[in-house]
Amino acid sequence: MQWIAVFAIVLLVGLAVTFWKTILGALAVLVLAGAALWAWQALRSRVKERRDQAAALAARADREHALFLEGKDAGVFGRYSPIDLDRPRPTPLPATMAEWREQRRRK
């Protein structure tokens, strides 16, 4: 039984010594294929991220357009309210979007 293990080890070492160029080439191909797969997935991730950003921007533009059609200032100025020149001091901007919406509902 032990001689089979020794024979197998000698056979594997002999094959590795004989075909080392082929083995090295196969490893290089595998490394290049892995790098190409990683680059492809990174590119797909970046494209998806940009697509999501464009969709979010379009949704915000649609929201602001609807507000503009309703005659609200947020439709023109977006998240940044203009200073009311009739008041002596400007009103502070809300800290969160929820506060902003609540202030707009009250007006």
Q: Which residues contact 32 (CB under 8 A, 6 or more apart)?
A: none
Is the model's pTM score more than 0.85? no
Separation CA 76–CA 37 (nearest Å): 45
pLDDT single digits (tens) 21-68: 888 999 999 999 999 999 999 999 999 999 999 999 999 999 989 988
Question: How many CA within 13 A on the CB side of residue 77?
Answer: 12
Q: In the predicted model, is pLDDT for residue 107 greater than 80?
A: no
| Domain parsing of the chain, residue ranges | 1-71, 74-107
Contact indicator for 81, 91 with CB cutoff of 8 Å: yes
Closest CA to 79 of 56, 95, 55, 90: 95
